[in-house]
Structures are given as C-alpha cells and as structure tokens.
Structure 1
Amino acid sequence: MYLPPQFKSDRTQAAALITAHPFASLISVDEAGVPYVTHLPLHLEERGDPLVLLGHVAKPNPHWRYLQARPQAVVTFLGPHAYLSPKVYPDLARVPTWNYLAVHCTVQATLIEDPAGKDALLKKLIGDHEPSYADQWRGLGAEYQHKMLAGIVAFELQVTDLQCKVKLNQHRPEAQTGMRAVYEAGTENERALAQWMTRLKSSADFPQGTEK
C-alpha cells in the first residue's frame, strides 16, 4: 500500500491493531489470474520473530485450493477510520481527509488438514471471541465434531512482510487539538481514533509538543 514515512508504524502497533480488529480480507489469485477475496476472522500468534495468522474457510469455498496451488497471498486488516473536516484547522485554506489504521501482510500459506490440528485452531478462535463456548463445543460429541471439522479447511499463514499504516494527520500538528476534540465527541470509530492518538502520543509515530 502507499505508505508515506510519516504514517509508517511498527510491528508492535500492527499486532495490537490485528488483535483489536481480527476480521481480515484474505486475497489470493484464482485460476484466471483475478484477485479472489475472502473475509474472515484470523487468530494472531507471535512465535518468536515470525508472526503467524490462523484461520479457516468452508470446504466449498475454492479459496483453499488457490492457497494450495499458490501459497503466497496478502492479508489486510482495517482498524478504526473516519472523515476529518477541514474545520479542525485554524485557517481556511485546507481540504478534507480520511484518517484510518490498516495493516497489510504478505503471507505464505500452509494447509492444516488433520482433524486434531483443525480442532486446535478452532479452539484458539473460540478463545479469542467466546471462551465460554469451548465447553459447549467439547460437549457436542466426537461424531458431530468430526462432521463439522470435515466441513472446513484450515490454514496457517506465516507473515513474510508487514506494513502498518497509522494515518492520524501526524504531519499536521496545527490540527491535532481540534481533531482530538471532534473525535472524542464523535462516533464509535472517531472515539477509537482518539484513543489511538493517546496511545501513540508518546511514541515515534506521533509528533511531540502538538497537544495542549
């Protein structure tokens, strides 16, 4: 993605964004050479240096076949985003913009085909989103579990390259106070952007001395 240096962030912020917004777009190339996209939740694991993403698709979804044939793919995550009015500036010679946080990962896919591996992956996703469901899943019985597991194809996506973009108008320090006031009083997405402003204020991703 287009990534000006003032909006470039690091792996730590990328991992935080993925964890907070795990619903991803998995992008591969189909047999005709056309991009094929599946929207799905992914589980993030940090295994030392490499980041790994775990997920699955329904067996009728051909995406797993594309991953099998061409293992390199792209995964994107979109965090909070919102419009920014030029009214936040102290002068009138300004234009609107859109602020957002996003992560793009280049990945190498490996299918997980054994039932035990798929079951372990599902339990990690359950742990992310509804830990209390784990007991219900275990109580469904081996036959039912096997049937459900046979209906999905799971995969591990090892991240080989990562880009994290945090666009919060960092290059416009004169707008920061007004932007924060608008976002803190705004929608859920806008409030989330204000929280990221606070989070990044003391880091290299955000200019110092711009807040009063």
Structure 2
Amino acid sequence: MYTPSAFRETRLPVLHAAIEEIALASLVSTEAGGMQVSHIPMLLARDEGPYGTLYGHIARANAHGALRGAASLAIFLGTHGYISAGWYPGKRTHGKEVPTWNYIAVHAHGTLETFDDPAALRQLLGKLTDRHERGRTEPWRIDDAPAEYIDRMLGAITGLRLSIERLEGKWKLSQNRTAADRQGVLAGLAETDDEASRRMAEAIRNASP
C-alpha cells in the first residue's frame, strides 16, 4: 500500500483498535489462477503472535477454503469520504485545488490457515456473536438455537485463521494540508451534516498534526 509518511500509522494498539472497530474484512488470497476474495467479519486475537491473529469463517462451498497456505491479505476499510476542492480557501484565491478522498485503512498480511474442528468453530461463532450482540437489550446467543441446527450449520462452514505477519496502516485525513485547509474541510463536512461526515470530521480532528 502506497503510504506517504504524513499518512502512515504504525502504533500497534491503534491498528488493533481500528481492526476491531471496522470488523468486516476483504480477505484476498493468491492462487495459481489469480485471486480469491471473500468479505467476512473477522475477530482479532491481540495476544496471539507479535501482531495478533485474525479468525473468521466462510461457507464450506466457498473455493477460498481450499487455499490453505496461501499468501493472504485482510483489508479493513474504515471511515472514508469525498473531500471537495471547494472546501479549501485556495479555491477562492488561486483556484489551484482538486478534490480527494480521505480514508482509514489497515492491511493485515499473513498465510491463510483453515480448520474444521466443530468445537473450535463453535467457539469462534460464540465469540463473534458475543462481540456483535454486545450492548443489545436481548443479545442472541448461540445456545438460543436448537443444538442439532447449530451442529448442521457448523458442518457447512470452514474456519479461517490468519496469523498476522505484517501490518500496514494508512490514515489519509488531510494531515498534509495547512491548518486553514483542514478548517475548511471541517466546515464543509459540518454543512453536509450526515453520520459519515461527522465520523470523518472526528477522524480529521484526531489526526491533525
């Protein structure tokens, strides 16, 4: 990933927190005929390995599961959005401005492993549902479904494990612009006033040099 120094994020706790917040990964694995891509929620085990380990699952019929040992990349795309050139003060004085797109992205590289052990799969599903049901008034638990139904579902999936060998973080949030330009961007996002714009504004404030 092309990452100019102004946008590079290397702090492990920050990268881990972003993975956990984003949750959904685009998992890309290479094979002789090209690539396999699956979009799946992945759970991070921070304390497994120097950079952590990612876990997820796919349908057993998914060809991705046959790529055990493949070089793989899990892409987590976070807050992102269009930045208008009209928000920069320079648009009104010299006009030499162009739009861009701001975003947060984390790339986790590793070698893909698969597993089919029902106990391990059940434990993974329990952790995933507990993570995403957290905070609900009546959280769904895996034991809420009939045991035979869950056993059948476990037989239809393949577990994935990605021990992270390298982590890259890119926080492209207007850090390379002047303070006046960043204020212009924040004002433009405030006028847009939707949830995505509010998230972007918060990210820019947090990343400002």
1:181-196 → structure 2 map (5 Å cutoff):
181-186=187-192, 187-196=194-203
Verify: 1:179 aligned to 2:185, yes or no. Answer: yes
- Residues 55 and 155, structure 1, Cα contact 8 Å, conserved in 2: yes
State the Cα deviation string for residues 95-150 of structure 1 (Å, max 9, x = none). 1111111111102222222111000100111012124111xx21333322211100
Counterparts of 1:15 and 1:55 in 2: how far apart (Å)? 16
Residue number in structure 1 paired with 2:99: 96
Residue number in structure 1 paired with 2:120: 117
Residue number in structure 1 paired with 2:28: 27
1:46-65 → structure 2 map (5 Å cutoff):
46-47=46-47, 49-65=50-66
Counterparts of 1:117 and 1:124 in 2: how far apart (Å)? 11
Pairing partner for 1:140 from 137, 140, 145: 145
* Structure 1 residues not aligned, in runs of 5+: 201-205, 208-212
- Residues 25 and 77, structure 1, Cα contact 8 Å, conserved in 2: yes
- Residues 185 and 191, structure 1, Cα contact 8 Å, conserved in 2: no
Q: Secondary structure at the match of 1:118?
A: helix
Verify: 1:159 aligned to 2:167, yes or no. Answer: no
- Percent identity between the aligned chains? 33
State TM-score, norm by structure 2: 0.88
- Residues 82 and 99, structure 1, Cα contact 8 Å, conserved in 2: yes
Residue number in structure 1 paired with 2:174: 169
Counterparts of 1:71 and 1:16 in 2: how far apart (Å)? 26
- Residues 74 and 106, structure 1, Cα contact 8 Å, conserved in 2: yes
Pairing partner for 1:108 from 111, 135, 150: 111
Q: Secondary structure at the match of 2:111?
A: strand
**Cα RMSD over matched residues?**
1.6
- Report the residue type matching 1:114 in the other structure: D
Counterparts of 1:198 and 1:96 in 2: how far apart (Å)? 19
Counterparts of 1:85 and 1:152 in 2: how far apart (Å)? 44
Counterparts of 2:40 and 2:111 in 1: how far apart (Å)? 17
- Residues 115 and 159, structure 2, Cα contact 8 Å, conserved in 1: yes
Q: Secondary structure at the match of 2:16?
A: helix
- Residues 80 and 190, structure 1, Cα contact 8 Å, conserved in 2: no
Pairing partner for 1:130 from 130, 133, 137: 133
State TM-score, norm by structure 1: 0.87
